[in-house]
Amino acid sequence: MTPSLSSLIEVSRAGVEFTSEISFAFGAIRVTVRSNSSELTRRLADYFRGQVVATPHQSVKIDAIQAAPTDFGLDYWHWPREGGKVGQKEAICDVPGGRVVHKVKTGMTFLLGDEVRVAVGDCERNDNQIINFVIAQQLSHLLNDGGALCHAAGVCEKGRGLMIAATSGAGKSTFAMHLMKQGATFVSNDRMIVEAAKPIPIMHGVPKQPRVNPGTLLNNSSLRGILSDERVEALRSLPHDELWKLEEKYDVDIERVYGPGRWALSHTLDTFLILNWNHQATTGATFRSIDLRERPELLELVMKSPGPFHRDHHGSFPTGREQHDATAYLAHLAQIPCFEAAGGVDFEAGVEWWRRLSELRS
């Protein structure tokens, strides 16, 4: 017999003494995390330092329990991965009262119910997964408000907002960092919510620090200091293609690199750019206006699954096999001028394109 979520939560909390608590504000939603690890809440306070608030009366509550990993011996099924990625990442079991998500590689387990969310495992070692769990609560709130989730980064500058969509590795974060070097403000790195508000749509970001490859750091003077001198020399010796394919992620702390006031979680959205360029192209980068209704293959690069942690208004969880609603995305993006970047990858050309476009609209 499958145990209920409440019984699993009771087992997880048994003998646990919660010693610290912290709350965050993400727009209209409040999230409170309590834990038996003060080290974990200290790290969360530093990571989300711009969103820390006094403990509110109404908030989503998360218990982050530092403990030995456990999968509760449930009969899991594996969440399908997007974009052709291989390997098992999340294992799912829907139980009476909610859902259990087990992270295969780290052993972290997440219990999702109506009122309480619980994370169990080595939270300190896997604090990035606790950060993502906190952000998942914000995403669910925005999605349940009617937003559309996009695989995109975003920046804003001089009152204008730009969203940059692409497949993984195409340069969303790198392009955003190049624009920030010229004075833009960061909105989000990999996930954006578009809200089709009138008269101008709104883009909402998540407070997730960009995770970038070493090629991005090496080719941006504002970021090069994140690497040691020895690592810079080693990376300079790599062939260009090998450097950009290197899967070695670094966090970019926006405020510490660029200074305070360079992060806005929401902004009006004026322009939508899809990066459809590639490093193997022999032609230069081109930027042209497009109609997404006529380019369904590009819309596929934009649409993103909400993931296993999302719960809709009706209390239902996704299966990961749902088809994206292209009509809904087109409705959200209908008011926004859309452009395609094609040809070879050229971030400096992209910066110049954005500058000229902004000047034309001034």
In the chain the beta strands, taken as DSSP E runs, fall at 20-26, 29-35, 52-53, 60-66, 77-78, 90-95, 98-103, 109-112, 116-121, 148-157, 160-165, 185-188, 191-195, 202-204, 211-212, 250-251, 266-268, 271-275, 286-290, 338-342
Query: What contacts 152, CB < 8 A, 6 or more positions away?
Result: 163, 164, 165, 166, 172, 188, 190, 191, 192, 302
Beta strands at 60-66 and 266-268: parallel, antiparallel or unpaired? unpaired
pLDDT in tens, 50-95: 999 998 888 899 999 999 998 899 999 999 987 656 668 899 999 9
pLDDT in tens, 206-235: 999 988 888 778 778 888 788 888 888 888
148-210+252-361: CATH topology: Rossmann fold (3.40.50)
Say if residue 248's pLDDT is above 90.
no
pLDDT at 85: 63
Q: Average per-residue pLDDT in the chain?
A: 91
Pick the range with the lowest mean pLDDT from 31-45, 87-101, 231-245, 314-328: 231-245
Say if residue 239's pLDDT is above 90.
no
In this structure, which amino acid lies at residue 272? Answer: F
Report the b/e string of 163-186 with b at 16+ CB within 10 A: bbbbbeebbbbbbbbbbbbeebbb
- Whether a cis peptide bond, with omega within 30° of 0, leads into 199 is yes
Domain ranges of the chain: 5-144, 148-210+252-361
